[in-house]
Amino acid sequence: MGKPTGFQEFERVTEPYRNPLERLADFKEIYTQHEDQQLATQGARCMDCGVPFCQSAEGCPVYNLIPEWNDLVYQNQWFEALGRLHKTNNFPEFTGRVCPAPCEGACVLGISNPPVTIKNIECAIADRGFEEGWVKPIRPLTRTGKSVAIVGSGPAGLAAAAQLNQAGHSVTVYERADRIGGLLMYGIPNMKLEKQVVDRRVDLLRAEGINFVVNADVGGAGDKAISVLSLLAQNDALLLATGATVPRDLTIPGRAGEGVHFAMEFLEANTKSLLDSGLADGQYISAKDQDVIVIGGGDTGNDCIGTSLRHGCRSLLNFEILPTPPSERAADNPWPTFPRVFQVDYGHAEASQLFGEDPRIFSISAREFTRDENGKLTGIKTVAVDENFKELPDTEKQWQADLIFLSMGFLGPEHYINKDLDMELDERSNYQAEYGKYKTSVPKVFTAGDCRRGQSLVVNAINEGREAAREIDRELMGSTQLP
């Protein structure tokens, strides 16, 4: 806890983002500088709640010791706070930026008051650690002689690599893209997670002894192909952490043709071009002077909004088939579950500032993409729906659009790596493996993260990577000291 009466004395104050119109001029992070005194005051609001649901499975999948580091920040003991944070979370500088903070939704103070600003405090502790030089590579004292290959360098793969390396195993991470980081590198835009933050951590892991191989398409074809069977033969264990990268499509009339893109086509190409050339090479889908519609909400839809605005789109709308969320928890969404309430994310705020209104239109369903006689996209036809997604009569409408981005989630992993392995799949096409065990139906092969559980949060991927490392270590050594 922080100050015993702090929750009664101090109001919740979050760290502000940069001014919307200012940040729209660049792809730099949207966050402002941390203010230590304000964060100490916010740490003081952490109450003596008795049972801290914030660090339960409902609040934090990696079981962060949140009350402990809240109190340490309040006491100005930042170094000690970093130690407690790293005890459960390999990458707090990632989760402190991109996690939707289910911990705050589960905060006991949040039952009757605004919750503690846990996410702000977590990010500040991690950033302070790097700024002060407290985060240093720690190489294992001995090696076990066992080797593990990990396919996929997203949060699950990196977390597993970090843990297995500390256990003394020789770890090689294979990534099919040209940079390490997976979703962290190309799936999350720069304004939410600057890539120097990812590179900084990867450099640290490399200094600790982890080997990284880029442009390695395990199970694929072509120049970058690496045989998954050879990896299996050459290593004592293989972990698949390839993510859930098959997007959900919208198969309505007019889908074929230019102008309609999956969200990740847009976001990944933009980030690669930004890193390669500052967008000078033109190797991305430009929304400049275009009428843009984003179909689907969530983080990915919001990122499409923010990216389109930074390109200089002419107009922007965001369609959601779901009804407008309530301003407060509904009866079927009790504390400490994640609050499904109306929220304004950074892209929504930017669009509102630029165009004068929130870009979201709820309870709307797409019927047809419209095209001219040359096949060029001209827009989309929609219809309003009720809370059961039933179409409402006389609500058909035509919308103009030059670009439409589909952000409707992901169906599961790509399966070409399974061509030679022939692993069992679950009913949703994910790699079948029991939670907590992570073993597939193929000996020596484990799986973790979105390719096992389906599309989820970065913090869930970190949790699964850590737990899978524990089970691989147990399999290789007969017992494990990994948490």
Q: Which CATH number goes with the domain that contains 201? A: 3.50.50.60
Q: How many helices (H) and strands (E) does the chain have?
A: 17, 17
Residue 140 forms part of a structural domain: no
Q: Assess whether 294 and 370 both reside in one domain.
A: yes
Last residue of a domain, one of 370, 387, 408: 408
Mark whether 289 and 176 lie in a shared domain. no
Q: Do residues 15 and 86 both lie within one domain?
A: yes
Mean pLDDT calculated for residue range 310-331: 97
- Provide the Cα torsion 18, 21, 25, 28; round to 10°: 20
Q: How far apart are CA 481 and CA 192, in angstroms?
A: 35
Mean pLDDT on 60-83? 97
Q: Are residues 89 and 114 in the same domain?
A: yes
Average pLDDT of every residue of the chain: 97
Kindly tell me if the per-residue pLDDT of 1 is higher than 90: no
Strands 291-295 and 315-319: parallel
CA distance 167 to 242: 22
- Residues 403 and 268 both lie in one domain: yes
CB proximity list for 168: less than 8 A, separation 6 or greater: 140, 141, 142, 143, 144, 146
The answer to whether residue 137 sits within a structural domain is no
For residue 178, the one-letter residue type is: D
Of 408, 440, 456, which residue sits at a domain end? 408
Query: What whole-number percentage of the chain has pLDDT above 70?
Result: 100
Q: Place 277 in a pLDDT band, splitting at 50, 70 and 90.
A: very high
Strands 403-406 and 410-412: unpaired
The answer, yes or no, to whether residue 2 has pLDDT greater than 90, is: no
Say whether both 254 and 401 belong to one domain.
yes
Last residue of a domain, one of 106, 131, 156: 131
Confidence of residue 3 (pLDDT cuts 50, 70, 90): confident
pLDDT of residue 300: 97
Coil/strand/helix, residue 26: coil
pTM of the predicted model as reported, rounded to 2 decimal places: 0.96
- Whether 142 is covered by a domain: the verdict is no
Do 286 and 379 share a domain, yes or no?
Answer: yes
Residue 298 domain-assigned (yes or no): yes
391-439 pLDDT tens trace: 999 999 999 999 999 999 999 999 999 999 999 999 999 999 999 999 9
Does 148 score more than 90 pLDDT? yes
- Cβ atoms of residues 237 and 475 within 8 Å: yes
Residue 136 lies inside a defined structural domain of this protein: no
* Number of domain units in the chain: 3
The reply to whether 483 falls in a domain is no
Average pLDDT (29-49) is 96
Same domain (yes/no): 403, 416: no
Residues 107 and 80 placed together within one structural domain of the fold: yes
| Whether residue 270 has pLDDT greater than 90 | yes
Do 322 and 391 fall into the same domain?
A: yes
Assess whether 183 and 294 both reside in one domain: no
14 found inside a domain = yes
Long-range contacts of 375-384 (CB under 8 A, 24+ apart): 375/257, 375/258, 376/257, 376/258, 376/259, 377/254, 377/257, 377/258, 377/259, 377/260, 377/401, 377/402, 377/403, 377/404, 379/291, 380/293, 380/404, 382/319
Q: What is the band of 17 on the pLDDT scale with cuts at 50, 70, 90?
A: very high
Please check whether residues 240 and 377 belong to one and the same domain: no
Q: What percent of the chain has pLDDT over 90?
A: 98
101-127 average pLDDT score: 97
Helix (H) / strand (E) containing 447:
strand 445-447
Q: Report d(CA 110, CA 336) in Å as an integer.
A: 9
211: which strand partners?
A: 172
Beta strands in 83-205 (DSSP E): 147-151, 170-174
Q: Show the domain range for 393.
A: 249-408
Domain for residue 482, yes or no?
A: no
pLDDT tier at 145, thresholds 50, 70, 90: very high
